[in-house]
Amino acid sequence: MKDRLIRTVVVWIAIAIVYLALGWVIGLAIAPWFLYFTIRYAIRLQRALARTIPCPQGHAVAQWGRFRCTCGAETLSWIWRCAWCRTRFGHSACGTCGLAVGNPLLRR
């Protein structure tokens, strides 16, 4: 009974030593992925929060201002999210040419 307890404790200490010695290897593999997705999100957020966004033909589409949502509410807000019903939008039409402009936060 006592031998089993000692063996269990030794095994757990060995696992802890291996984890402390080699845990950074897993961290080294995860960190670049985390950094990549964090930087990618920061760049997309910068585009989404800018005053305007270019449509495929280069017209400046306002991302902040007076918008009418599909719920019927007309608000002074951000183009990608209704300030009233909180619906998020994936795309919007350019006011000049009518082509779709995608939400930068939802791009693949």
Which parts of this chain interact with Zn ion (CB under 5 A)? 55, 57, 59, 69, 71, 73, 82, 84-85, 87, 94, 96-97
Q: How far is the CB of 29 from Zn ion (least distance, A)?
A: 43
Residue nearer to Zn ion on the CB measure, 69 or 105: 69
**Nearest-approach distance from CB 94 to Zn ion, in angstroms:** 3
3-state secondary structure the chain: CHHHHHHHHHHHHHHHHHHHHHHHHHHHHHHHHHHHHHHHHHHHHHHHHCCEEECCCCCEEECEEEEECCCCCEEEEECCECCCCCCECCEEECCCCCCEEECHHHCC
In the complex, minimum distance from the CB of residue 73 to Zn ion, in angstroms, rounded to a whole number: 5
